[in-house]
Chain A
Amino acid sequence: MATDPLLRRPKPARAVGRKAPLLPEAAGIYLAHHRQVAKDSAQRLWRAPLASLMTWLVMGVALALPVGLLLVLSSVQGVSAGWDSSARITVYLADQVTLEQARRLRADVAARANIQEVVLVDRDTALQEFRTGSGLDEALAYLDENPLPHSLLVTPDESARTAAAVELLADSLGAMGEAARVQIDLDWLQRLSAITRLLERVVWVLALLLGGAVILVIGNTIRLAIENRRDEILVAKLVGGTDGFVRRPFLYTGLWYGLGGGLVALLLLGLALWWLSGPVERLADLYRSQFELSGLGLEGVLALLGCAMLLGWLGAWLAVKRHLDAIEPGVPAGSG
């Protein structure tokens, strides 16, 4: 009797059923169980809509804030990146330089090393562009004479587009006798991009902190859920529920909190985007810039939801580790 093999069932897979079902059936049951638990925990959240909504809102705000800031920053960076790749130097030629001279000069500069392209903008074309672009058409009509000089738009080789190299090139171009003034189009953009890079770091730190806060909020919510279902946990463990079995509903609850929070965040971002899009367009128009606030896109949406669910799951996992594993059927009543 001491060697009765009845209890020797060390493998969980075999303990699934008395007949040791075929693996596919066991897997099917396991999946069905997961579906059931997922559904149950979602329904529990629905049954306490107010409490769930509060958690979702807190989480949504905490997620929307850094994501929104990152979106704005990446839009700004999009602008500077667009310019970066066409880093240009404009050389305004002296008034007395003729078109013929300007053409020759263009060819000279284009023949230099480190130059990708040189475009000559003659003064007539420049005026034309200015007219159509600025809306000052009528005012310009009063001028008898074109006040604009010829200019060369110099694009350095990609290899020579560092700030220092561009500056050097600008200096040497400015030293030409025909040049009246040299302008680097990059100047303010470099500053802008340095600022956005700094801001990006700040936002990432903020995102980390808020992510941590989300984990703690979810963890605390799950801790309360565990306390509320203490009796059930005790009975489940008493009748042979594994740690995985008793944890599962809470981990799914964490996932659902995460999903809800992610959806709220998307909603908030959508609203903010819609609300800001008008003013941003007007601003961009004023600066004649391509700037536009871009949304998340499908990938971004999925990534945000994925992150939110991961955070929810992590919070739940921490709570479960700390509070659930400690619940053991210790003192069965009936000591008499």
Chain B
Amino acid sequence: MIEFQQVTKRYDSDHTALRQVNFSLSRGELTFLTGHSGAGKSTLLKLIMLMERPTAGKIVIGGQLLNTLPRRQIPYLRRHIGVVFQNHQLLFDRTVFANVAMPLEVMGTPARDIGRRVRAALDKVGLLSKEKMNPMQLSGGEQQRVGIARAVVNKPPVLLADEPTGNLDPDLSADIMRLFEQFSQVGVTVLIASHDISLINAMGRRTLTLEQGRLVAGAAHGH
């Protein structure tokens, strides 16, 4: 589902964020991406989202070679990739419902389907009762779950998370991880960037480890 071949990303002429990274993830696989701060985790996720373009190498997502994807096609790629960020990027000028509905509205989903699917997603993360609230009224963990509901509301085959548990206490983090596991069980390919080693170890999943832009562990399939 996600394949990196000799991917290098250089931001400036002398600053290389990723060096010749090779790996591939299958459908329904849940994988961690770890490494110190500045190791290149976010960069790797941004390449998948086409928020950045690789300097060299090939990236293939769901059979689509990203290198040659024209700019105006990028939105259609992004509709198949759900993303969750540490600071969740929720909009505080609208309700929880409206936040979660955004990916559907962007796709031109009919209104009657939007209501049904948004509630299904909120139900999944256990926030159905808070749909009419403003995200500002929610706790950190709840906000993060709204972000997850928004990422999965259009049932994307790929789900990316960048430090999704960064601000949360261990219990809440474990909750969030359980959610990600559930998605991978229904066939979603999940890639979670995190430097929370203890959490990653507790999950016992395949882990890609980056060190100064180089993939030093987890490239081979299995763990």
Q: Contacting chain A: which of B69-77, B121-129, B171-179, B209-217?
A: B69-77
**Interface presence of B42 (CB below 8 A):** yes
* Cβ of B188 to closest chain A Cβ, rounded Å: 11
Question: Is A7 touching B63 in the complex (CB atoms < 8 A)?
Answer: yes
Q: How far is the CA of A103 from the CA of B86 in the complex (A)?
A: 105
8 Å CB contact of A6 from B37, B41, B63: B63
Contact A239 B102 (CB under 8 A): yes
A274 close to chain B: CB less than 8 A: no
Give CA–CA (A237, B50) in the complex, Å.
11
Q: How far is the CB of A65 from chain B (nearest CB, A)?
A: 38
- Number of A residues near B (Cβ < 8 Å) is 41
What are the residues of chain A within 8 A of B62 when measuring CB–CB?
A: 4-8
| Cα distance, A29 to B163, chains bound together (Å) | 36
A184: Cβ under 8 A from any B Cβ = no
Cβ contact of A17, chosen from B27, B76, B108, cutoff 8 A:
B108
Chain B, residue nearest A228 (CB): B93
Is A1 in contact with B1, judged by CB distance below 8 angstroms?
Answer: yes
Residue-wise, chain A 1-34 has the 8 Å CB interface mask toward B (1 for contact) of 1111111111010011100000001100110110
Determine the residue in chain A with the shortest Cβ distance to B86: A334
Q: Which residues of A contact B102 (CB under 8 A)?
A: 235-236, 239
CB of B138 closer than 8 Å to a CB of A: no
Contact of B107 among A16, A329, A332 (CB under 8 A): A16
- Answer yes or no: A243 CB below 8 A from chain B CBs: yes
Taken together as a complex, chains A and B put the C-alpha atoms of A95 and B162 apart, in Å, by 108
Q: Is the CB of A332 within 8 A of B162?
A: yes
Chain B contact residues, CB within 8 Å of chain A: 1, 3, 24, 26-27, 37-38, 41-42, 45-46, 49, 51, 60-64, 72-73, 75-80, 83, 85-87, 89, 91, 93, 102-103, 105-111, 150, 157, 162-163, 166, 193, 195
The 8 closest A-B pairs by CB, nearest first: A334-B86, A7-B62, A240-B79, A334-B163, A240-B78, A239-B103, A241-B106, A333-B87
Q: Which residues of A contact B (CB under 8 A)?
A: 1-10, 12, 15-17, 25-26, 29-30, 32-33, 231-232, 234-243, 245, 328-330, 332-336
